[in-house]
Structure formats: structure tokens, C-alpha cells
Structure 1
Amino acid sequence: MSIITGTVVTAGLVGAVGLAPAATVAGVGISRTQETMESNLADLTDGSAPGVTTLLDANDEPIAWLYKQRRFDVAPDQIAPIMKQAIVSVEDRRFYEHPGVDWQGTARAMVKNIFSGSVQEGASTIDQQYVKNYLLLVDAEDEAEQVAATEQSIPRKLREMRMASDLDKRLSKDEILTRYLNIVPFGNGAYGIEAAARTYFGSHASDLTPLQAATLAGIVQSSSVLNPYTNPEGVIERRNTVLDTMAETGALPVEEVQALKQEPLGVQEVPTGLPNGCITAGNKGFFCDYVIDYLAKKDLPKDKLFTGGYTIHTTLDPAIQEMTHNAVTAQVSPTTPGAAEVLNVVQPGADTRRVLAMTSSRNYGLNLDEGETVLPQPFTRVGAGAGSVFKVFTAATAIERGMGIDNILNVPPRYNAQGMGEGGAPNCPPGYYCVENAGVYRPSMTLRDALAQSPNTTFVQLIQQVGVPAVVDMAVRLGLRDYEDPGSFDGESSIAQYMIDHNLGSFTLGPTAVNPLELSNVAATLASNGVWCEPSPIERITDRNGNDVPIDSPPCEQVIDEGVAHALANAMSSDMVNGTASEAAKNMGWGAPTAGKTGTTETHQSAAFMGFNSNFAAVPYIYNDGTTVAPLCTSPLRQCQEGTLYGGMEPARTWIGLAETLGWPAEGIIPPYDPIYNTGTATQDIPRVTGLAEADARKRLERAGYRVRTEFVPGNGMPKGRAVGVNTAGVTMKGQEVVLQLSDGTKPPTPTPTPRVQRPTSTQAPAPANDPVADLASAVDEAVNQLLQNTGQ
């Protein structure tokens, strides 16, 4: 009687699984809610499972594969029919007859399980196995959920049966069978039938033979135990069992089965695997890491990449990548202690910004003793700064504000700047930032020559004139966007905000760590007529179904006027002709148009060379990457006691060496520029104020964008307080301070007559007493002044 009662109770529970509401299910201990099961069923119906993401270069050749489970989903028609017959014959012979749960087998198993007090017999259908494997391999987010998905308990079994029954109502049998074969593990890192076919037979799921199908169907029972490479006897025994079931179900003739049972396993000598992660990408590993980092910021985090089964078409040009790596290792050995050179090649463009190559002189790898590293050197802030390369930002700001590239600038051997930070050169007074030049220069030179010769004092004076905030803003606009990242300076302030808040004139000398990729993009922005675009490693991404995956990228921006960009590029083109990079260019025979700027930090711990033309933009950057803080020396590059490395040495030679190898950078140009930028645009804009009252003159100058300071000068008859003129100290820029000269109401002192020496009578006619031209000009000036006063401008 108790046996009958137990059977009836069990049958009642089984019926409840298919019919009862969620509350009844919860009453028997099922831990998941109806909502959770519905969510899982939706995912089960979709059939998505963790897959392999493939990164391809610009030639569509693989760079790397990213995955947690090596799985390649295939469609129903991509699985050999004999494989489906094999798995059904051994795992669920009544698969095409039952509604997701085999009630006959379940009732029999339930009786046994009830009397044993635990689950001793499964009677699981393929539907149920699919549910269990999905919850274990896909849905489980932690170890506790993995245990829950496989626990040997009646509540878990009831939940599984309920979901299998519902699933059978939503999908066809062939769809369920395909999803099952796509998800189950086959051992040796193979998940799903396609990965299994590749692993053991170097084949595809569509091409499996009867013997291969029987082998794989047998392994499913226990993929960890039934390993062809560690337990071939066990696998053969299980395979033969499957062959027998195939004969029993009519999938194969008995005679063929008997012959097949005599065959060896026929697996490959070693299983075919698949490299996983960037560590397998060689010296493309830095770029691989960059792709992952870039996409993580675009809402495709690493966990999605390693499970999503995407195909990522990247911008990496394999030929340029190899040349780039060779260029840096030619100047800096991978095993150099404490010093590395990084280089990114960025293609100029006004609508997109493709990263063509990315490398370090360090080989990508984990063997530090062999000079390898996996640190993201090329695309994160590293080093002690790019040095005088940052003078480009000050020059760009000055040109934008109206300075001409041929305007004359002072070049004192030392300059003490008040209110621009503190310290610097020796014997600096409190409250001053003091700077000295690294060489001996003429007392004055043009902005064009200053960019080529790179005197420090000139650019500290210039950043004081245009203002630190404007120069920092220029650096960010042109490409150093991570300088605005919160906490990028000291964990609290951004680099940009810190420089602005402390009004640090040293910013123009480049003393802060820099992102080499962003610095190369600055060069690309200037080469692209002043248009900034976000550097990108991505051409296109598709999901596992071949659908395009959109990537949210900011639009390109015209960050400086095209005329300013062209003028600056032309001013920078002197560096390789008669500037700090000219020796490297001469020695290597480089004469193609190039805008360049060298940079070296004061401590000689970093050096760089920014070079570009219309075809090519790159910034080789050498820095101390060791744990020992020490200067760097040249030829060969190394750590040393007294630094001798400059940007015109290894960095410039790296750039030229790569450009010569590539060839096409020599075909680029430096665009022509408007001659107005020789003398500057601001002088054309200074309003005429002569004769105006002080208030009116000040208002007119301030409206034009100038800061105004006044001084009194002899008025030469002009009423006191009236404007005599504007003193720009020889340099005129919008936003700069100009001196409004006001009449003090006096006349300049009459010069003492010089006694005249009696000379022979000239044969020339004497000058007229009155100059009609001068009188006319004076009358016109007076009329214009009167008109300006009347209009109040």
C-alpha cells in the first residue's frame, strides 16, 4: 500500500509540474520564481550561448580569439543527420514522441528516487539536458548557481521538467536538438558539436561520419572521464554502445555497425585547440588589448567580448605593424633595462581616424627577463612627458589669437615668470617660475625659428602672454582628451584642471605623463586641417548572426581653423631643415615635406618626436619604464648618470626610418597657407582709437578681444586723456594685454638745435616750406578722429 501511495504522490507532483501555478511549485521547494523561469525560457528559446569572438586585421586575417567557452554555433542544416541520429539513439530514444518530458521513464525513475531518498535515476530527456546545461554553462553567474543547476534533488528535477515541457511547446524538435548539440561540452575545451568536430577530427559538424558521430555522442555522457587521449579504451567501449543503439533504432544497418565496432577511434594525434586572448597575438598584443579597452568604453565590456561570438574587423595593417615594430627595435633593443620606445601610426582624415599600427620596443609577453611586457604602454599615460613637443600647443594658441609665424620673439638666456608656478632653474626667487635655455641662441627669433630651435625662455614668455588655460585647452582640443579625466593628475584633479588652477607655465615644456596614442592623434589632427576625430581601431563589428553592431563614437570636430593648422604645420616644417631634427634628417637622407617637433624632458627621462604630413602621423616616444629612476643616454639608448638623449636622436631616427620603409609618407605634403599668417591676423583687427576719450578707446579695444592697460605719454598737442595710440610691444594676439597710450597734455621737449656746418652750396632745389601731402594726411586724420568721436565707437 505504501508503494502505491508513493507512486501516486510522485505522479501527482509530476503532473503539477506541467499544470500547477507557480505557488504550487514553490510549495514543493522549487527555488526559482515563475518570472525567473520565464526569463530563462526566453533565453533558452533564443539559443544564444557563449561563443568565440574573432579579431581580424585589415586584411581579414585573425589577430586573436577571445572566449570563455570554445563554441561555434551552427544551424540545424550544418549538423550531419547521422550525428543527430546518434545522439537521439543513446540519450533520448523517444525524443520525437514525448512533449519534452518522458513521463513513462520519469514515473519509473521517480519511484526509485522516492524510496532511495535521493535522485538515483535521471530519465532526463534531451529537452531536460538542454535546460540543465544551459542553466549550468550559460545562466549561472557564480559557483552557487552552478551547484543549484546540477544539484541532485527532487525540486531541481521538477523545475527542470517544468521548463523542458514549456520549451517543447515553443520550439520544434529539430531546433531543440540543435540547441542541445550546440551547448553540451565534449571535453578538451570543446563546447558544442562544431568545436568537437574540429578538436577531434579536424572536420566540421556537417561532415561527420557515422563512426565519428558515435564517438562524439558517447563522449557526451561524461566528457571529463571519456577523454580519447587519456582513456581511449573507455571511449571505444562507449562508442560501441552508441553504435549498438544506432542499430536498434535503425539509424545504421547491423552489418555496418559490426564492422565499425572493429575500427580504431580515428581521432587526431593531438586535439586541435584555439589560441585564447591577446597573449597569443605576438607583437599585435598591444593592439589587441587596445581593442578590448576601446570597446569596454563603448558598452562592450570584456565579459561580453569573451562570450558574444562577435567578429571584429579592425584597422590594423599587418605590413605597417611589422614595419613599425622593426623601426622601434632598430633604435631601442627589447631587452634594454629600464627604457622603452612606443609608437602608434594614425592615419590623418577629416571623417575618421584609423589606427594603423601600435607597438612597443618591448615584445608582447610575460617573460620580463627577456624584455617582454603586457602593460598597455602605447595607449595609456606613461613616462615623464613629451618635453618641448608641448610647445606646439603654445604656438597654436598664439597663432589662433593672431600672432604671425614670422613675428619676432625675445630669446633671453633666462626668464623668471611671476605667478606661473615656482622653482625651476637654480636661484629662483620665491613666487617665480624660472627657466633657462638648454643652448645658446640669438637674442630674438621668429616663431617659426623658435619652433625649430626650441628655446625654453621664449615659450614660457609666450604661454604667459596667451595664458595657461588657453594652452591647456588647446592641448585637449587637439587630442590630449584624457587630460580632462577626473583624478588623472593626483587622484583628485585632472591634469588639465591642475595646470589651470595652479597657472603652471611649465606646461609648455611638457613635464606631465602622456598617452602616446593621443599624442600621435594630435599630429593627425594638425595633418587633417585642424579636424579632431577619435582614434579608432574598429572598422566594423558583426554579431554571431552577421548583423552589424553599432559603436557609439563622437563626431569629428573642427577644433582649430584650417588656416591656423596650415600655418602651424608650415612653421613646424623647419625642424628637419635647420632645427633640432635636421641632423637626423641629413644623416638618413630624408628630405620629404615634414612638420616636426622634438621634445626632451629636463631630466632626460623622456624624449619624443612629433612628425606628420598629409599622409602620415606618428610620434615615437621613449621613456624610462623601469623601477629605477634614471636619465637616458643615446647611442645605444640606455639608463645612465648624465642624460644625453634628445628628441632629435632616437625618436626622430625612428620616425624617419619608418617613413622611409613605408615609402608613401614621402608622397605627403604640407598644405600651403595664407601669407596673412606670416605677420599675423591680429594686427589687422586692432581698432583705430587715436583721438578717442579713454573710456571709448578702452571699450573699442575690449570689444575686439584685448586686455587693456593704460599709460600716459606726451600728447603732441592732443588734449589730456585722449588716446594717442596702442602699444603691442611688437607682438599682437587676441586676448593679450595691450597698452592704451593716453595723452598727458604736454608736448615732447623741443630738441636743442645742432649747430650747422657751413657746406658748399647744393645744386639741388631747396625743399618747399609746406608739404601739401603731409598737410592733406594730417587733415584726413583729424577728420577721421572727429568722426569716430561723434559716433562714440
Structure 2
Amino acid sequence: MLAGVLFAGTLAPVAIGAGVLSNQVSDSVDSISADLAHADPPLVTTVTDRTGAPIATLYAQYRIPVTPAQISPAMKAAIIDIEDRRFYAEGGVDPQGMLRAAVKDSTGGNLQGASTITQQYVKNYLVNVVDRTNKAAQQQDKEDSLARKLREAKMAVQLSATVPKDQVLANYLNVVEFSGTVYGVGAAAQAYFGTTVDKLTVVQSALLAGMVNNPNVYNPYTHPAKALQRRNTVLDAMVSAGSIPASYGATAKAAPLGVVGAKPAAPSSTCMGAAPDAGFLCAYAVRYLEQSGFTADQIDTGGYTVKTTLDPHVSQVVKDAVNANVPTTQDGVANTFAVVQPGGDGHQILAMVANRNYGTDPDQGETSSNIVADASNKFGAGSSFKIFTSAAAMAAGKAGLNTPLTNPFSDCFTPPNANQYTHCYPVSNDGTGYPNPISLADGLATSPNVAFVGLEAQVGMPAILDMASKLGLRTTMATNDAGTKPITDPADQRSKNPQYDEPQSQYFENLLSFTLGNSPVSPLEMANVSATLMSGGTWCPPDPILTVTDRNGAPVPVKQQSCEQVIPPGLANTLEAGLSRDTTAGTSAAAARNAGWTHPDIGKTGTTQESESVAFIGGVDHYAVSSMVFADGPRPQEICPGTPVHLGTCGHGAFGGTVAAPPYFTAMTTLLAGQPDVPIPAPDPQYLDAH
């Protein structure tokens, strides 16, 4: 009978002069009908820490799917009584309504409704699922035409023949919109009433059932009077259908709307809703997935569970340490801190934090850029870049830890590829207390500029730039000297300036300032440099992902770069040995003593020329770290030590040892409490002297 009705409805327009509609009914009806039988609407992706505790939700449509058994009887009755009282009896379409619609359409009148819940499910599935990213197609899904009605009807009939009624009803309630980004009755119950769908009362159910007709017009927050009127219409329908007694209906109509808060309580749909210690790692995890082949739409609609590497204890400890050093709302000063776990088969990120929080309100100290992952420290990491010069020199046999380096108070060096018009590059040490010559080991501890620029000139820039990339600055070296993607658009005047149109790997080929760390750098990548050394010279991508599972709990593979042995283990161990004196006799020793620090570790401080950036790069036990404090406002100035660290004019300004190292000592002291010390590897004799 249903097939006959549908056939008659198809022929009716011909009989009454409306024309043949077969070419307007989509060829994809059958395939869409099959999808409808196994509805797979957009779901929320949940991001968790390594323990499985949620840290963020990502979605385009906030939806909490529910089963037929989870839907309260009141909700089922409310939606059926107002939308389709013959739902359990009809076969997916209302024959009388279809014929009435055909007659009205052929005579020029507005197309009549008479859509069953099954047809409404079809329409909402098309609008909210199939065509959710195609505005033109959505408009066709909503158009007032018989062709659209016939298409819905055919799919509704097919659906009713294969799917139980209770499941159709649940699918419908799972897919409909309840205004804004709230979709499905499960999310609506939570967002509007702070409850679950199985506990929805008659009054609550009536409000939600009334909204599906027009979720914007009947929004209880923006149009409370219309929402109340519509809710009471539903209650009247429930009385008329015998679902509730008239006396109860009268009492229910007198009740307030009962929604909670000033707007629907939907969670944030991005990583900006994460806790202050989790936002940057969450955002980096999303970027990592996109670089691995996931699309943004897949992530926002796939219903994945993304378990990250974030260690909640480590993350909170280092967040507390940087906030104590530089308050979140401190004007013009950022303090980033990244912690990476070394390993020969992977470098898991345990924490990515800053005194800034990930968000959009700068007045609250928030930033919408990932200042931990990006090459956000525009002023550079200072003398910590001497790690790359040392590693390249040792790899080339130009120097070992015992090698004496020429180290006058000042010197002027001829840049590579110089000609008769090239000026020499003047360099001075910060103070006159350095010996001349100075061993490479002592130089790593005390950081004289002249000795390292001289070593840089001897080794050659290509080898040093290549070493920086190998050890960890993969993304950093691909940015320009402003920390952004090289500008190659001819219409942009900056494309003619090497500082902007060349990657750092090319720009610094003729600049000996590189070893002094005056170029933009990623704090996360500098932590990964330490991780490479602490992994015996094995570089691995800084990895924020433990596992990804789909909406059904099945594992989803994540493509990633493989680890690489970038320098020999002996070189890595020897360089670690050379960096092991920073906190005992080097530039951070005083701060270490003040903190009561006694653990064996590696470290290298850095301070830029005007103290607009200071850094401590190092590691202890199974933690590779970078702590950077740098000017991040529109009017950068010298950074001054103090409580708190601040911008100003303070003479000598901040140093890596006095401002960037203290959060490291504070955090690591807490994390290592009660743990046995892990010794630094012994140096390899092959790398103690030049050869």
C-alpha cells in the first residue's frame, strides 16, 4: 500500500499538470537511505591526558548520542504528540498529507506539511549530517517543493521497512538541532537543564519537543515568551493525546521554563576550553593530527577519543612554577616551559605550559597563538644556541671538550662569503673575567661569546645550521627571521628582503650571529634538542599523542615521522658531560645554590643582547626541558628580575641563570622528590680533543 501511495504521489503531478519530477528526485536516495538505517551523525571528539581524564572537547555539533532505552517516556510522548501521533502506526509517510501537498503545490498554494517523524528525521539528517558543510545543498533540503517531499517520502518508506520505530525515534532525537551548536536531545538535556535524557520531566520534555519545530524562534534564552507559549502548546497536545491528565497539564503550564544559566551550558568546542595547563598541548595535538592526515572536519565530527601524552602532575607542577615566576597577566612578559621525555623510540611531550593561557582574552593574560610550540620567541634563545656550534665542531673533529678556544675580550670576525666591501662582525664578551684561551668545556659552562663565534667561523655555517636542524629545530629552521613562514608573494615587499623571504637555514649562512641565538625559536623544539642529546643522539618528533580511537573504540593509526640517529651516541654523551657543569660552576650555579639544587643535570643558559629574552635549556632524570622568558607585547623592553619578573630599565637586566632557570629548579625539585639521582653519561674519549 505504501509503495502504491508513493507511486500515486509521483504520478499525481503529471495528472494535474505539474510536470515530471523523476529527474528532481536524487539518484543518491538509496545510498542515503542505507546510511539512515545506521545513523552516524557528527559526534564530539574528546581529548584526554595520559590517564584518560578529559581535558577538552572538539566539535562542530555538540551531541551526546542516546539509545531508545535511555530516552524518558515523557520525552517520547511529548515529541510524538506534537509532531506525529500516528508515528507507531504509519509506514514512514502520511498518504493523506502527501496527496494534499501535491494538490496544493500544483495549484500554486504553499506546500503543505504533513511530514511524519520519519520524514523529519530524513530532512534533519540531510541538513545536519549529509549537507552540513554545503549551504546550497542545505537550502535544497529545506525548499518548499514537492520534489523534496517525494525524496523524503521515498527514503522514509525505505527506512520504515528496515528500522524499528523506537530506533527511528531515537535517531531523529539524536540528529535534530536545539539552537546554536547543541544537537540531539542528549546534549539538549545537559545544556538546557543540566540533566540526562532519561531524567527529563514532562515540563522539560515539552519545552525541548516544542523547540525542534524552530529552534531559533523557540529558544528559551533569547525568546522566552515564545518558548513558553510553544511549550504549553505541546502540553496541550499531550493532554489531547491522553499522555497526561488535564489537571497535570494545567499545573505543568504554570511552571517556569526551568532552564539553567543565561545560555545553553555547552562545553567549549576548541582547545581554548582546556584547563590552563593543558591548552597549548591540546592545540599542538590537534595540529599534529592534521599534519598526520586528519582533516579539521574529521577531528571536529569524528567522535574520536584522543589520548595525549600530557602528564597531569608534571603539567600542573611546571604551570605553578612559571606562574610564580611571571604572573599570567604580567604586562609584556611571557614565560614558556616545555617538558619532553627522552627515549630512543619516541619523545613524548609531558607538558607544554606558559604563564599565558590559551584563549582569546588578552586582558586575562590569554593568547590565541601557540607560544610554546611555535617559533614565538622572536628574540631568540641566546647562548643556548652554542650547543649547536659545539656539536658541529665535535662532529667535524674541529674541537673536543678539552680543546682550547681563542678568547680575547673582543674580536671582529670576517663573515663567510665576504668580499672587499664586507664589514667584519664585532663581538665582545660580557665581562673581562674569562680566560684566554678557554676550553670548550669551560666555555659551555661560562658562555663567552668571542670563543664560540670564533669556533663557528672555523667550523662553517652550513654544518652548524644543519646540526641545529638535526638536533631538533626542524620547524624553527624552516621559518624566516621573523618566526613565520617565508614570504614569497611578489606583491608583498617583504618578499624581496632575505630576512623575510628566506628560511633561517638559508638566511644565516653568512651570519655569524647564529651561535649567539638572536633568531626566532620554538620553546618546544629547544626542549626536544635536550631530549635528542639525552636519547643518545636519537632525534624523534616531539609527540603529543598516545592513542586515537574512533567512536566505536577501535584504534585509529596516526602517521608520524620515524626517529633518526642524528649524531653518534658518544658525541651526545660527551656533549651532555660538557653541559653538566652549568648548574654547579656555570651561569646558573648561583640560582641552583639558592634553590638548594643538588641533582646531576645538563643545562645551558641564554641571554639576548638587550635582555629581551632569556632561556634555560637542559634536562634531568627523564625530563628534557626548556624554560624561556621573553618580551611578548607590542612594546618590548628589557626584562628585569624581581618578584615578579617584569619589563623595565634595570641596567644589567635579566639573565638565563637568574630568571629562566629558577622555574626549572622549582618544578624539578618537586617532581624529583624522593627519586634516586640519574647520573650524567661519561664522555667518550673520542670527543675530548680535536683530531
Residue aligned with 1:596, SS: strand
Return the offset for 1:240. 2.2
Structure 2 match to 1:300: 294
Residues 217, 242 of structure 1: 8 Å contact kept: no
Indicate yes or no: 2:401 matched with 1:401: no
The residue type equivalent to 2:453 in the other structure is: V
Indicate yes or no: 2:543 matched with 1:552: no
Equivalent runs, 1:695-714 vs 2, <5 Å = none
Structure 2 match to 1:100: 92
Long gaps (5+) in structure 2? 489-500
Q: Distance in 2 between matches of 1:58 and 1:17?
A: 62
Residue aligned with 1:649, SS: helix
Please report the RMSD computed on the Cα atoms of aligned residues, expressed in angstroms.
3.2
2:428 to 421, 436, 439: 436
1:137 to 128, 150, 153: 128
Return the offset for 1:620. 0.8
1:228-272 deviations in whole A, cap 9, x for unaligned?
56136424422323423542xxxx5x7x56545533558645166
Residues 17, 162 of structure 1: 8 Å contact kept: no
When structure 1 is superposed on structure 2, of 650-659 and 396-405 the one drifting more is 396-405
The residue type equivalent to 2:327 in the other structure is: S
Structure 1 match to 2:260: 270
Q: Distance in 1 between matches of 2:652 and 2:137?
A: 59
Cα distance, 1:552–1:16 mapped onto 2, change above 3 Å: farther
Q: Distance in 2 between matches of 1:453 and 1:410?
A: 14
Equivalent runs, 1:19-30 vs 2, <5 Å = 27-28=20-21
Indicate yes or no: 2:646 matched with 1:652: no
1:118-145 deviations in whole A, cap 9, x for unaligned?
21x2111222111211222221324333
When structure 1 is superposed on structure 2, of 107-116 and 318-327 the one drifting more is 107-116
Structure 1 match to 2:505: 497
1:37-60 deviations in whole A, cap 9, x for unaligned?
455445434412222222222343
Indicate yes or no: 2:267 matched with 1:281: no
% identical equivalent positions: 38
Larger Rg computed on CA atoms = 1
Residues 405, 679 of structure 1: 8 Å contact kept: yes
Structure 2 match to 1:164: 156
1:578 to 579, 585, 589: 585
The residue type equivalent to 2:53 in the other structure is: E
Indicate yes or no: 2:448 matched with 1:455: yes
Indicate yes or no: 2:645 matched with 1:640: no
1:368 to 359, 362, 385: 362
Equivalent runs, 1:77-226 vs 2, <5 Å = 77-80=69-72, 83-119=75-111, 121-138=112-129, 139-169=131-161, 171-187=163-179, 190-208=182-200, 212-226=204-218
The residue type equivalent to 2:119 in the other structure is: Q
1:652-680 deviations in whole A, cap 9, x for unaligned?
11211221232359744243325514634
The residue type equivalent to 1:456 in the other structure is: N
1:444-489 deviations in whole A, cap 9, x for unaligned?
1221111011112221222233222221111111111113537657
Structure 2 match to 1:387: 382
Query: Could you state the TM-score of these two structures normalised by the residue count of structure 1?
Result: 0.76
The residue type equivalent to 1:196 in the other structure is: A
Cα distance, 1:369–1:73 mapped onto 2, change above 3 Å: closer
Structure 2 match to 1:510: 517
Residue aligned with 2:119, SS: helix
Structure 2 match to 1:342: 336
2:229 to 226, 234, 254: 234
Query: Could you state the TM-score of these two structures normalised by the residue count of structure 2?
Result: 0.86
Cα distance, 1:363–1:188 mapped onto 2, change above 3 Å: closer
The residue type equivalent to 1:262 in the other structure is: T
2:688 to 679, 687, 698: 679
Return the offset for 1:516. 0.6
Q: Distance in 2 between matches of 1:189 and 1:679?
A: 63
Indicate yes or no: 2:365 matched with 1:357: no
Q: Distance in 2 between matches of 1:26 and 1:380?
A: 61
Residues 30, 155 of structure 1: 8 Å contact kept: no
Return the offset for 1:498. 1.2
Structure 1 match to 2:459: 466
Residue aligned with 1:195, SS: helix
Indicate yes or no: 2:325 matched with 1:317: no
Residues 349, 528 of structure 1: 8 Å contact kept: yes
When structure 1 is superposed on structure 2, of 83-92 and 141-150 the one drifting more is 83-92
Q: How many residues align?
A: 656
Structure 1 match to 2:671: 662
Q: Distance in 2 between matches of 1:15 and 1:637?
A: 76
The residue type equivalent to 1:626 in the other structure is: G
Q: Distance in 2 between matches of 1:97 and 1:512?
A: 73
Q: Distance in 2 between matches of 1:669 and 1:626?
A: 39
Indicate yes or no: 2:598 matched with 1:616: no
Question: Larger relative CO (CA 8 A, sep 6+): 1 or 2?
Answer: 2
Indicate yes or no: 2:605 matched with 1:598: yes
Residue aligned with 1:330, SS: helix
Cα distance, 1:130–1:601 mapped onto 2, change above 3 Å: same
Indicate yes or no: 2:411 matched with 1:415: yes
Structure 2 match to 1:712: none
Residue aligned with 2:604, SS: strand
When structure 1 is superposed on structure 2, of 536-545 and 75-84 the one drifting more is 75-84
Cα distance, 1:675–1:198 mapped onto 2, change above 3 Å: closer
Residues 206, 231 of structure 2: 8 Å contact kept: no
Structure 1 match to 2:285: 291
Cα distance, 1:200–1:511 mapped onto 2, change above 3 Å: closer
Residues 211, 260 of structure 1: 8 Å contact kept: no
The residue type equivalent to 2:671 in the other structure is: L
Q: Distance in 2 between matches of 1:85 and 1:605?
A: 66
Return the offset for 1:324. 1.5
Long gaps (5+) in structure 1? 1-9, 681-730, 733-793
